[in-house]
Amino acid sequence: MALVFAVIIFLLVALYSGKLRAEVSFFIAVTVLIIAGVLSPSEALAGFANEQLAVIMLLLVISDIIRKTDVINLVFNQLFRGTKTVSGFVFRMVAFVAPTSAFFNNTPLVAMMMPYVYSWSKKNKISPSKLLIPLSYAAILGGCMTLVGTSTNLVVNGMAVDAGFNSLNIFDFAWVGFPMVLVGGIYLALFSDKILPSHKDAMDDFKDGWREYFVETEIEANSPIVGKSVSEAGLRNLSGNFLVEIIRKTAVITPVSPEHILRANDKLIFTGETSSIPELSKPELGLSLPKECIASELSDVVEVVVSHNSWLIGRRVKNTHFRGKYDAAIVAIHRNGAKISGKIGSVVIQAGDVLLLFAGRDFDIRATGNEFYVISKKENKKVDAKKAVMVIAGVLLSVVVSANTALSLFSCLLVVLAISFFTKTLTGSEIKRGINLNMMLIMAFGLALGKAMSNSGAAEFIANNILKVAEPFGPVAILGMVFLVTNLLASYMTNLAAVAIIFPISVGIAQSMNLPLEPFIMIVAFGGAANFITPIGYQTNLMVYGSGGYSFNDFMKIGLPLTILYIVIGTLLMSWRYGLM
């Protein structure tokens, strides 16, 4: 038991600090538990055969089809026609995103909507930061309505099945999820414009001079500006770029004086407008852009945000071989709250970073995985609209069939995926890229961690101690406490880690008090998924964090009241539904 508690503390520290990738942290934790004999190898690996985990992977792959179709853009154009205000846009956005995310994975849904939110914002002269957090929250609220709406619900259900309990039904979550979509939607429509800041987006930041975007160039050996001062070289008179610093071997020169003499191989770091970056490659300057970023080959400016489980995280830019993999070069980086200076090649990429790219013709074809999500770019190759509609109908039919027959959701989705493959809506390589191995590792090892909590007696120990304190207040208060603890853990580590730790404790409390198991299972799922107070607790929050220029405090300001509403109303509805009041 002491070892399990030590492993949990290690996970808390590792996940909160971000020093180790989430899947690495879980791997280390499970390895220690196996060596110590707390888990058998078969128990540690059982999660990989979990049906709910497989359903999540299928939903991720199938949802990617929706992201690549023109049908959704047509829906957006009709849905938001005539909308000019933040409250009007948010209300309609919640009305569309919430029910959609109840059946389709919310991560690709948010990725698909972000470019539209940007374009609508610019058209109506409204800051995207007024809308991006509501977009993430709408997807979270909708995902909580059904078993398949969020991976957290499916993981918790997988834990329940592994523990020998009956599987939850697809619409069991709707008793709490649907009312909270109504409450949350009204709250966001009324208060988003008042509470959220009006930040400039990353592209607009260029127009105001110094920002956290940096473009690295190098003075070539035969450059005509070698031996000249900064002023004589004309670097003080560029139309859209400003010279921030000079890197000479190991020395960093900043601020840069107009009289400073330039030398061959000096690294010059500029900030500037996106459209003006090509002026740095003019022959009279003799500057080279990074990683063979030749304007004639890489002429499209593309902006992307690094996903929460991207393989790029933790790697230096120069070690990613970005140009070879994606036919694009990283020329600038924006990270909220931190100024990224120095050599771009030496910058360690983090989740939520916004990368400015010069992209070539093959970027669309190569950048189809989940390493990053596009904010603004040229159009992707689109999926045939009729085929996409067939896939959407297939997913909805799968939900209906699995809810009313003995056929499992996994079997139904497998048929949809097979049809998508044979109709060439999805290729084999796209299916392979759509399978998120990092997420699979985290979820499978999370299931193993829950098993270790039960095997060691740690779950029973914590449950008994909670009961000693909370039992006099009754089951409603205990249910609310479980919600609160799960939500706080999920907010500062990850939702999957939080539910893995709390699930066996919650079940232990229900069994000790002879209470129905279902509310104590579902409350863990709600506590893990309804994550609004930090950007790091849920993947869609992290997606909008960097691109919206938000701070942690922005999430707390608008997310804390919504979290309190969810805990209070959700606990009362769950208690009423299962006769705990």
Least confident of 43-47, 63-67, 278-282, 564-568: 63-67
CATH code of the domain covering residue 310: 3.30.70.1450
pLDDT tens-digit map of 352-376? 787 877 777 677 777 766 678 777 6
CA 410/CA 408 separation, integer angstroms: 5
- Whether 175 and 32 map to the same domain: the answer is yes
User: What average pLDDT does range 429-439 have in this prediction?
Assistant: 69
**Type of residue numbered 547:** S
Whether 351 contacts 324, CB under 8 Å: no
Whether 406 has a pLDDT exceeding 60, the answer reads: yes
Give the SS3 label for residue 227.
coil
Q: Which phi and psi (to 5°) does residue 554 adopt?
A: -65, -40
Residues of the chain with pLDDT > 70: what percent?
A: 81
Q: Does a structural domain hold residue 375?
A: no
Higher pLDDT, 157 or 15: 157
Whether 158 has a pLDDT exceeding 70, the answer reads: yes
pLDDT tens-digit map of 68-118? 655 566 677 777 777 888 899 999 999 988 998 888 777 777 877 887 787
Q: Does a structural domain hold residue 384?
A: no
- Whether 175 and 262 map to the same domain: the answer is no
- Between the alpha carbon of residue 372 and those of residues 152, 260, 570, the distances in Å are 21, 39, 33
Taking CA 96 as the corner, what is the angle to CA 90 and CA 97, rounded to the nearest 5 degrees? 80
User: What average pLDDT does range 4-26 have in this prediction?
Assistant: 78
Whether 209 has a pLDDT exceeding 80, the answer reads: no
Structure-token pair, residue 298: 């890489």
Q: Which phi and psi (to 5°) does residue 367 adopt?
A: -90, 65
CB proximity list for 39: less than 8 A, separation 6 or greater: 30, 33, 448, 451, 452, 455
Q: How far is CA 144 from the centre of its chain?
A: 16
Whether 210 has a pLDDT exceeding 50, the answer reads: no
Last residue of a domain, one of 314, 342, 361: 361
> How many domains does the chain contain in total?
2
Last residue of a domain, one of 326, 361, 396: 361
pLDDT for residue 336: 63
End-to-end CA distance of the chain: 34
pLDDT tens-digit map of 275-302? 566 667 677 777 776 544 444 444 566 7
- Whether 191 and 222 map to the same domain: the answer is no
Q: Does a structural domain hold residue 396?
A: no
Give the domain range for residue 212. 204-361
Q: Does a structural domain hold residue 283?
A: yes
| Residues, the chain | 581
Give the SS3 label for residue 47.
helix
pLDDT for residue 292: 41
Q: How far is CA 277 from the centre of its chain?
A: 29
Give the SS3 label for residue 92.
helix
Burial pattern 407-426, b for ≥16 Cβ within 10 A else e, equals eebbebbeebbeebeeeebb
Q: How far is CA 379 from the centre of its chain?
A: 22
User: What average pLDDT does range 459-468 have in this prediction?
Assistant: 73
CA 97/CA 68 separation, integer angstroms: 17
Tell me which residue of 485, 474, 473, 564 sits closest to 523, measured CA to CA: 485
Residues of the chain with pLDDT > 90: what percent?
A: 14
Whether 52 contacts 408, CB under 8 Å: no
pLDDT for residue 317: 81
- Whether 52 and 92 map to the same domain: the answer is yes
CA 523/CA 144 separation, integer angstroms: 11
User: What average pLDDT does range 422-428 have in this prediction?
Assistant: 74
- Whether 88 and 181 map to the same domain: the answer is yes
Whether 341 has a pLDDT exceeding 60, the answer reads: no
- Whether 28 and 65 map to the same domain: the answer is yes
Q: Does a structural domain hold residue 303?
A: yes
- Whether 239 and 154 map to the same domain: the answer is no
Q: How far is CA 573 from the centre of its chain?
A: 29
Whether 502 contacts 524, CB under 8 Å: yes
- Whether 501 and 462 map to the same domain: the answer is yes
Q: Which residues pair with 316 in a beta bridge?
A: 348
Whether 240 has a pLDDT exceeding 80, the answer reads: no
Tell me which residue of 236, 354, 261, 266 sits closest to 306, measured CA to CA: 354
Q: Does a structural domain hold residue 155?
A: yes
- Whether 8 and 140 map to the same domain: the answer is yes
What's the half-sphere exposure (Cβ side, CA atoms, 13 Å) at 412?
A: 21
Q: Does a structural domain hold residue 311?
A: yes
CA 8/CA 12 separation, integer angstroms: 6
pLDDT tens-digit map of 178-204? 999 999 999 999 999 999 888 765 445
Last residue of a domain, one of 361, 383, 416: 361
DSSP 295: T
Q: Which phi and psi (to 5°) does residue 200 adopt?
A: -75, 145
CA 258/CA 246 separation, integer angstroms: 12
Q: Does a structural domain hold residue 404?
A: no
**Is 340 exposed, middle or buried, given 0-12, 13-18 or 19+ CB atoms closer than 10 A?**
middle
pLDDT tens-digit map of 322-333? 877 887 777 777
- Whether 185 and 44 map to the same domain: the answer is yes
- Whether 169 and 262 map to the same domain: the answer is no
pLDDT band at 337 (very low <50, low <70, confident <90, very high): very low
Least confident of 298-307, 368-377, 378-387, 493-502: 378-387
- Whether 26 and 165 map to the same domain: the answer is yes
pLDDT tens-digit map of 116-154? 787 788 788 888 889 999 999 999 999 999 988 888 888
Higher pLDDT, 412 or 3: 3
